[in-house]
Amino acid sequence: MNLLNESCYEKEKYMRVATEIAKQLYFYAQWAGRFVCKQDFRIKRSHLPSFLLIYTLGGSGILDYKGKQYHLEVNSLCFLDCQELQVYSTFKAPWTFKFIHFYGNLSTAYYNYIIQLYGAPVFSNAVSDMDHMFDRVIRNVQNTESEAFCSEYIYRILTALIAFYQRINEPFHFKSIMNYIAEHYAEPIDVEDIAQTFNFSRSYFTTKFTSATGISPYAYLKQCRIAAAKELLINTNCSVQTISELCGFSSSSSFIRTFKSVTGMTPRLYKNNDSHE
């Protein structure tokens, strides 16, 4: 039995009936809007041919779905197949969220793939313009604008979720970071600079890089610099000062100290040593 108790302080809810062309070709929005929910807000529903995206902006909600319970916190996204039984309600009022009910030929495939990636129907949003993309869909439905554009906005939301997951989780991403470090070690860069280049916080970047590669980004940067310094010591007559500059060290004293900590000898002793690694 369905239950729709849309008890709200504020409510925007817009409906649209899709054309036959939209049903054949597009992702098409069925309802979209924004709710500011009271404590007794509660939806219980199933057997609805629709997919639902919920983006929480304030307060919090609670979801029962496929035998599990999830908290819908600020900045979380929820992605549901409305054929399945879902029950969601206010946990902490006022619960503010934007929502999009949509359908279309590829909706099931996108839903299955995104849930497979994230492993759950609720996940933290880290896509910077997600709020804006929701607004584009809501205003499109409100003003009965182009169905093709509405489909494009929904597509952008779905592909942004896929792209973000791949960006932070796939191993090849860290290979590209390692390549970047190997190419730029001679510049006066540090871990903070590298993290910013790839749009990560330093702490998050360090944790993810170390987990994926088995070495911290600082250690890998130092490794690249020392390897280059060894080559220059063996194959050139460059001074220690020059080599320290060519390998990205802030000073010759920093270079000597780091080199000795890694190799057990000073750069000068390494250069004069008959056997090298």
CATH number of the domain to which 233 belongs: 1.10.10.60
Domain end, chosen from 119, 151, 169, is at 169
Name, in order, each residue with C-beta under 8 angstroms of 210's C-beta and a sequence gap of 6 or more: 216, 217
Q: Total domain count for the chain?
A: 2
Same domain, 76 and 212: no
Chain segment 51-94, per-residue pLDDT in tens? 999 999 999 999 999 999 999 999 999 999 999 999 999 999 99
- Locus of tokens 């729709």: 4
For residue 212, the model assigns a pLDDT of 75
Over 90: is that where the pLDDT of 3 sits? no
Residue 277 lies in a domain: no
Which whole number is the average pLDDT over 158-167?
A: 86
Same domain, 59 and 133: yes
- Predicted confidence band at 176 (pLDDT cuts at 50, 70, 90)? confident
Over 70: is that where the pLDDT of 153 sits? yes
Which residues pair with residue 123 across a beta bridge? 77
The verdict on pTM exceeding 0.75 is: no
For residue 166, the model assigns a pLDDT of 74
Same domain, 129 and 252: no
Two tokens, residue 139? 């205003």
CB of 120 within 8 A of CB of 71? Answer: no
Same domain, 22 and 62: yes
Same domain, 154 and 224: no
Two tokens, residue 99? 């929502």
Average pLDDT, the chain: 93
Query: Which of residues 188 and 164 earns the better pLDDT score?
Result: 188
Domain end, chosen from 169, 192, 213, is at 169
Same domain, 177 and 101: no
Name, in order, each residue with C-beta under 8 angstroms of 179's C-beta and a sequence gap of 6 or more: none
- Predicted confidence band at 277 (pLDDT cuts at 50, 70, 90)? low
Look at 13-27, 140-154, 157-171, 252-266 and tell me which has the smallest mean pLDDT.
157-171
Residue 76 lies in a domain: yes
Residue 74 lies in a domain: yes
Domain end, chosen from 169, 192, 219, is at 169
- Predicted confidence band at 275 (pLDDT cuts at 50, 70, 90)? low
How many angstroms separate the CA atoms of 262 and 187, rounded? 20
Residue 241 lies in a domain: yes
Chain segment 240-261, per-residue pLDDT in tens? 999 999 999 999 999 999 999 9
For residue 274, the model assigns a pLDDT of 59
Same domain, 143 and 182: no
Cα 74 off chain centre by: 16
Same domain, 71 and 147: yes
Over 80: is that where the pLDDT of 192 sits? yes
CATH code, domain with 25 = 2.60.120.280
For residue 2, the model assigns a pLDDT of 85
How many angstroms separate the CA atoms of 238 and 275, rounded? 19
How many angstroms separate the CA atoms of 15 and 141, rounded? 7
Which whole number is the average pLDDT over 173-196?
A: 91
| 47 φ, ψ (degrees, to nearest 5) | 60, 35
Two tokens, residue 20? 């036959």
Same domain, 192 and 156: no
For residue 170, the model assigns a pLDDT of 63
Q: Which domain holds residue 64?
A: 3-169
Same domain, 186 and 136: no
Query: Which of residues 174 and 118 earns the better pLDDT score?
Result: 118
Which residues pair with residue 241 across a beta bridge? none
> Helices 171-184 and 202-213 sit at what angle, rounded to 10 degrees?
110
